[in-house]
Amino acid sequence: MCMPCYGQLIEGSVAMTDKVPKELYGDWKVVSVCTRTTNKQLFDSTSVDIWTLTRIGDTIALMNPLSGARAEITVNDVKGRTVKFEKRTYFPGEESLETPILTVNGDNFTGVDKISIKTFQNGKLIKEDYVEFQVKGTKISGAPISGIFGY
- Whole-angstrom distance, CA of residue 62 vs CA of residue 75: 12
Instruction: State residue 116's pLDDT score.
Output: 96
pLDDT > 90 fraction of the chain, expressed in percent and rounded:
45
Going by pLDDT thresholds of 50, 70 and 90, the confidence category of residue 141 is: low
Overall average pLDDT of the 10-17 stretch? 55
Would you list the domain boundaries of the chain?
14-139
Q: What is the dihedral of CA 45, 29, 51, 83, to 10 degrees?
A: 80
Tens of pLDDT, residues 52-83: 888 877 777 778 888 787 777 768 899 999 99
CATH of region 14-139: 2.40.128
Going by pLDDT thresholds of 50, 70 and 90, the confidence category of residue 120 is: very high
